[in-house]
A and B are shown apart, each in its own frame.
Chain A
Amino acid sequence: MTARVGRRALLGYAGSAAAGAAVAGTAGAVAWSQEQDHPADPATGASPAGRSHSPYGVHQPGVAAPTPQAVTLVALDLRSGVDRDALARLLRLWTGDIEALTQGRGAPGDTTPWLATAGADLTVTVGVGPGPVRAGLLPGLDGFGEIPPMRHDRLEERWSGGDLLVSVGGRDGTTVGHAVRRLTADAEPFARLRWRQHGSWNGLDGEQRPVTGRNLFGQVDGSRNPQPGTDLFDQTVWVRSGAWAGGTTLALRRIRMDLATWDELTRDEQERSTGRDLAAGAPLTGGVESDDVDLLARADGRFVVARDAHVRRSHPASNQGRRIFRKGANYSVEEWTDGGLRVESGLLFQSFQADLTDQFVRVQRTVDELDALNEWTTAIGSAAFAILPGFEKGSWLGEPLLT
Chain B
Amino acid sequence: MSIDHTHHSHPPAAGPVRARGTGRRVRRAARLLPALALALTLAACGDDDGDATPETTAAETGGIVVQDAWVRATEGSEDPSMTGAFMVLENDGEDDVDLVGAASPVSGMVELHEMAMVDGDMVMQQVDGGITITAGRGKVLEPGGYHVMLMGLTDPLAPGDEVELTLEFSDGSEQTLTAPVKEFTEEEGHYHEPGTEEHGHDDSSEESMSDSGHGDS
A111 in contact with B185 given A14-B54, A104-B17 (CB within 8 Å): yes
Which residues of chain B are within 8 angstroms of A11 by Cβ–Cβ distance?
53
Chain A residues positioned under 8 Å from B20 (CB to CB):
105-106, 113
In the complex, are the beta carbons of B69 and A188 less than 8 A apart? Answer: no
Kindly identify, within residues 46 to 102 of chain A, every residue whose CB is under 8 Å from any CB belonging to chain B: 86, 89-90, 92-93, 96, 99-100
Closest residue on chain B to residue A20 by CB atoms: B57
CB contact between A10 and one of B17, B72, B88, B159 (< 8 Å): that residue: B17
Q: Given the known inter-chain contacts A6-B49, A108-B69, please indicate yes or no for A114 contacting B182, CB distance below 8 A.
A: no
Interface of B: prevailing SS = mixed
Assess the B160–A106 pair: CB atoms within 8 A: no
Cα distance A3–B183 in the bound complex, in angstroms: 34
Q: Are B15 and A185 touching (Cβ within 8 A)?
A: no
Closest B residue to A108 by beta carbon equals B70
Q: Are A105 and B17 in contact (CB under 8 A)?
A: yes
Contacts of A195 in B (CB 8 A): none
Contacts of A106 in B (CB 8 A): 20, 24
A325 to chain B, nearest CB (A): 32
* Count of B interface residues, CB-CB < 8 Å: 34
Beta-carbon contact of A3 and B15 below 8 Å? no
A296 within 8 A of B: no
For chain A, what secondary structure do more than half of its interface residues adopt (helix, strand, loop), or is it mixed? helix
- Max count, chain B CB within 10 A of own CB: residue among A11, A108, A109, A190: A109
A118 to B53, CA, bound (A): 14
B 163-205 to A, binary, CB cutoff 8 A, 1 in contact else 0:
0000000000000001110111110000000000000000000
Residues of B within 8 A of A (CB): 15, 17-18, 20-21, 24-25, 49, 51, 53-54, 56-57, 67-70, 72, 86-88, 158-162, 178-180, 182-186
| Docked pose: A10 CA to B24 CA in angstroms | 18
- From the candidates B49, B158, B182, name the one contacting A108 in the complex (CB within 8 A): B182
The 10 sampled A-B contact pairs (Cβ below 8 Å) are A3-B49, A10-B15, A14-B15, A14-B53, A14-B57, A92-B178, A96-B69, A108-B86, A113-B24, A188-B159
Known interface pairs A103-B17, A108-B182; 18 further A-B residue pairs with C-beta atoms within 8 A, sorted by A's residue number = A7-B51, A10-B17, A10-B18, A10-B51, A13-B53, A15-B56, A86-B160, A89-B180, A92-B162, A92-B180, A93-B180, A96-B69, A99-B67, A105-B68, A114-B25, A118-B17, A189-B158, A190-B160
Whose C-beta in chain A lies nearest to the C-beta of B159?
A: A189
- What are the nearest 5 A-B pairs in CB distance? A189-B160, A108-B70, A109-B182, A108-B68, A18-B56
Count of A interface residues, CB-CB < 8 Å: 34
Question: Which residue of the partner chain B has the closest CB to A187?
Answer: B160
Q: Is A370 engaged at the interface, CB distance under 8 Å to the other chain?
A: no
Set of chain A residues within 8 Å of B160, measured between Cβ atoms: 86, 89-90, 93, 189-190
Question: Would you list which residues of chain A between 1 and 32 have a CB under 8 Å from chain B?
Answer: 3, 6-7, 10-11, 13-15, 17-18
Q: How far is the CB of B164 from chain A (nearest CB, A)?
A: 13
In the complex, whether A186 has a CB less than 8 A from a CB of chain B is yes
CA distance A86 to B51 in the complex (A): 45
Partner of A186, one of B17, B68, B69, B182: B182
A104 to B184, CA, bound (A): 21
Q: How far is the CB of A387 from chain B (nearest CB, A)?
A: 23
**Cβ contacts under 8 Å, A13 to chain B:** 15, 17, 53
Residues from chain A with a CB closer than 8 A to the CB of B49 are 3, 6-7
B178 CB contacts on chain A under 8 angstroms = 92
The residue in B25, B49, B54 that gathers the most chain A C-beta atoms within 10 A of its C-beta is B49
Q: Which residues of B contact A118 (CB under 8 A)?
A: 17
CB of A109 within 8 A of CB of B184, answer yes
Beta-carbon nearest neighbor of A189 in chain B: B160
| A113 / chain B contacts, CB cutoff of 8 Å | 20-21, 24
Chain A proximity of B103: nearest CB distance (Å): 20
Q: Using Cβ atoms and an 8 Å threshold, which residues of chain B touch A96?
A: 68-70, 180
- Give A90 to B88 CA distance when docked, in angstroms: 21
Contacts of B24 in A (CB 8 A): 106, 113-114
Given A7-B51, A104-B17, A189-B159, CB of A14 within 8 Å of CB of B180: no
Most buried by A among B67, B72, B161, B186: B67
